[in-house]
Structure 1
Amino acid sequence: MDVVYFAWVRERIGLPKEQVSTEAATVSDLVAELAAREERYAAAFADLSAIRVAVDQELTGFDHPLAGAREVAFFPPMTGG
């Protein structure tokens, strides 16, 4: 699946997008796998309250299942203006 990073999440990880092969059942499981990879991922996912997630371009929670998902995107909360 494609994993896409936006704003400061992208800056901390150093990639805008990557292909990830995973057996993760939920977004939370995927985050745990990514954070365990190396320090830059751990730093990006250190405070999940500051990150939003979308699965296949639909805003979801971290407990959302990944079965059949093609894309997961991580980004900071959006503000209006």
Structure 2
Amino acid sequence: MITHEPTVFIVDDDAAVLDSLTLMIEQAGISVQSFAHADAFLSAYHPDFFGCIIIDVKMPGMDGLRLQEELTW
């Protein structure tokens, strides 16, 4: 889904961190989309997304630094 609403995208393999960040940001009235791993985010990602991304650096599979590199191409 392409969103033009400012959204915070969270990518974190730790369910507790993912859930707590999602809850805090939603309670601030900000749109949130959460992903448990980098591949899930990349499958949903579209360059027209408007917002910011919070990325866990240490994740199994593709880590946060590699995900950031993927997004700069």
TM-score, normalising length: structure 2: 0.31
